[in-house]
Chain A
Amino acid sequence: MKRLKYIWILSLMALVLGMITVFSFTIGRYSLPVDELLRYIFTGDYTDENLPLLVMRVRLPRILIAILAGGALSVSGAAYQGLFRNPVVSPDILGVSSGAGFGAAVAIMLSAGIAGIQVTAFVAGLIAVALSLSVSRVMAMNHDRLLLLVLSGMIVGAMFTALTSLMKYLADSESRLPEITFWLMGSLTDVSMREIRVVAPLVLAALVPLLLNSWKLNILSFGDEEAKSLGVNAGRLRLTLVCCASLLTASVVSVTGIIGWVGLIIPHFTRFFVGADHRRLLPASFLVGAAFLLLVDDLARSVSSLEIPLGVITALIGAPMFFLALRMAEKK
């Protein structure tokens, strides 16, 4: 694809994201017409006295986290798919989500409070990835390294899922159990600017190395041996990028709870528009993922008076979308 066409498509994606962002401010229980919102943004005037609070304290953090989470999960997924040379890999493959889920469950059991849950989930997610990496190291050397890594990820993931089930079984069914269950289904409800201030730098810190190495990520998708013969230090680079991609997912998931499917389908979908080159795929995935999660969250908070968990909607929309993406790839 020509560079110009790519820039065009990327601008279009950014524009769509911008429009969805504005639109998202107007959605919710408390109605806020677009003209009121635009007037407030551009002139600072408002008639409704609740408006500043609503926009700045309630909807802004939520919209920001939706953008951050959608973008980060998608970039993480795209990177994972490249690293594992497999377009149906998702960021959960090394157990980061299961680990975070378990961490959150433990913290909820200990009544650790929101910050405690987030920190524990974050740490446990990274521990799960570290475990997967080291388990694959211990196993025999002569096998396909990637296959071993996937298998270790499955083992570690299953273990943490089992532990989470144990926590749920032990949890008080009146209060703790629902809380754990809701966490595992994902939600952006409890997010305030405090979380944004922590998550945003983490996401940025993990994005930068991924973007800088996006060319080499292409080379890695040929497999370690070919990458090495092309002059890339494959083992070390893969490890670095796996860590960055896991950091992306862990930092988001620890705040939002588990949101499946985004990291799997968005890169798939985006690849259809901008091609497989990771230099283009990563930035484009961020924009598409952000827009997608914003829309999903809009749905979650507007469809019924009761908020629908995000993970439920992403799965409901994600499954057919995945099918569609596969069909589109087939046609192309």
Chain B
Amino acid sequence: MELEIRNATLGYSGKAVLTDVNLTLSTGTTTCFLGKNGAGKTTLFRSLLGLVPLLGGDVLLDGRSIRRWGRRDYARVVAYVPQARALAFPFPVRDVVLFGRTAHLSTFAYPRRKDRLIADDCLERLHISHLSDRLFTRLSGGEQQMVIVARALAQQPTFLIMDEPTASLDFGNQVKIIAQVNALKDESLGILMATHEPDHAFMCRANVLVAHNGKLWKSGDCDSVITDAMLKEIYDVNVCVCRMKDVNNRIIRTCLPVI
């Protein structure tokens, strides 16, 4: 299945943020989305999810325009991990994950045993079962983020769109999320992830998409797109993309800022 943006202009009430956007996401691939703050990453995500109307062009899921998908059907295929935000009410973690099952319920139905099992399973996958009975509002930012990822998994989506999923996570949880992203890719999900860490692209063996100056400036395989020159251009700092060997003698790349 493919999720596609075709000749689109994205932005808000007449003010374009990204123009000439063409993008195809396939199942079984990871795409990392780079770009400095305000480059339009979240705008693209919101457009992909149908949260803001397109200023031009179209978004197609499985060849059908997003305009012709119902909310619920769309949410069964595409899940979203937004940047963590405050929640007004103290829901327990298990319930928050259960909310991910909403798209699979019929109109007035409540979640059943099967849904609860799926929710527990998603918590298990992310190694956060111990949080199940805690109140979401009482968790740290990083823990909340993990719970929101679990909620998206509970949607059992084909495509997973994540807006800086590692943003408030400690080093260990960042690695866990990346490992989970790789595992989900192997289960043939299509993943689009915004990140401020170019290294994540290397760790995910991802395709890279770069938003710069109101366009999708570059896209392609991480080794070819992430270069010293590209990073200098978008972030305006000097970076060295280094190659080194890990314990298994595999070549890995990493970005080191030159200070």
Q: Which residues of B contact A215 (CB under 8 A)?
A: 102, 105, 109-111
Interface size for chain A: under 10, 10 to 19, 20 to 34, or 35 or more residues? 20 to 34
Partner of A218, one of B73, B78, B91: B91
**A87 on interface, CB distance cutoff 8 Å:** yes
Q: Which residues of B contact A225 (CB under 8 A)?
A: 46, 49, 51, 82
- Measured in the bound complex, the distance between the Cα atoms of B72 and A86 in whole Å is 25
Find out whether the CB atom of B108 lies under 8 angstroms from the CB atom of A232: no
Interface size for chain B: under 10, 10 to 19, 20 to 34, or 35 or more residues? 35 or more
**A223 on interface, CB distance cutoff 8 Å:** yes
Find out whether the CB atom of A141 lies under 8 angstroms from the CB atom of B89: no
Chain A window 219-236, contacts with chain B (Cβ cutoff 8 Å), 1 for yes, 0 for no: 101110110111111000
Find out whether the CB atom of B90 lies under 8 angstroms from the CB atom of A231: no
Find out whether the CB atom of B90 lies under 8 angstroms from the CB atom of A275: yes
Find out whether the CB atom of B75 lies under 8 angstroms from the CB atom of A222: no
Min CB distance, B149 to chain A, in Å?
13
Find out whether the CB atom of A271 lies under 8 angstroms from the CB atom of B89: yes
Q: Which residues of B contact A271 (CB under 8 A)?
A: 89-90
Min CB distance, B114 to chain A, in Å?
16
Q: Which residues of B contact A231 (CB under 8 A)?
A: 71-76, 102-103, 155
Min CB distance, B243 to chain A, in Å?
38
Which secondary structure dominates chain A's binding surface?
Answer: loop
Find out whether the CB atom of A87 lies under 8 angstroms from the CB atom of B102: no
Question: Which chain B residue lies CB-closest to A86?
Answer: B88
Q: Which residues of A contact B91 (CB under 8 A)?
A: 218, 275-277
**A53 on interface, CB distance cutoff 8 Å:** no
A213, A232, A276 interface centre (most CB from chain B within 10 Å): A276
- Measured in the bound complex, the distance between the Cα atoms of B203 and A29 in whole Å is 80
Question: Which chain B residue lies CB-closest to A226?
Answer: B82
| Interface pick from B30-38, B92-100, B215-223, B226-234 | B92-100
Partner of A230, one of B46, B50, B75, B108: B75
Q: Which residues of B contact A (CB under 8 A)?
A: 12-13, 46, 49-51, 70-76, 78-80, 82, 85, 87-92, 95, 99-100, 102-103, 105, 108-111, 151, 155
Q: Which residues of A contact B (CB under 8 A)?
A: 1, 81-82, 85-87, 141-142, 212-213, 215-216, 218-219, 221-223, 225-226, 228-233, 271, 275-277, 279, 329, 332
Enumerate 6 A-B pairs (CB-CB under 8 Å) in ascending A order: A1-B92, A85-B89, A221-B88, A222-B99, A231-B103, A232-B71
